Amino acid sequence: MFDYLIFDKSTYESTIQGLATDFRTSGHSWGKLMNFSEVPLFLDSRASRLIQLADIIAYSIFRYFEQEDDRFFSIIESRFDSEGGITHGLHIQQ
């Protein structure tokens, strides 16, 4: 499996690039990231509908967990993969 990181253009680009390098070389609390196939990619969300979609999904999740607002999350909640009552792809820290 290969991992890709795609971000909306931001002023944090150099910081995130540095973190990706650190995660590959030094690791983090869960280990090292071994299968990055590319460095993090930064796209302007005005030029990519998929980045816009990712922003909307991230905003929906943020609003649900940080503001207890489920207006948008309720639309996407059933789209997370789940089996036997366990949701995959969305880590909820208890």
pLDDT tens series, the chain, 94 aa: 445 667 777 777 888 888 777 777 787 777 776 666 667 777 887 888 888 888 899 899 999 999 999 999 999 988 888 888 888 777 777 6
- The pLDDT assigned to 37 comes to 64
Whole-model pTM: value is 0.57
Q: Ramachandran region of residue 68, left (φ > 0), alpha (ψ -120 to 50) or beta?
A: left
- The pLDDT assigned to 72 comes to 94
| Measured CA angle at 91 (ends 88, 93), to 5 deg | 145
Number of DSSP helices (H) and strands (E) in the chain, helices first: 3, 4
- The pLDDT assigned to 2 comes to 46
The DSSP symbol for 82 reads E
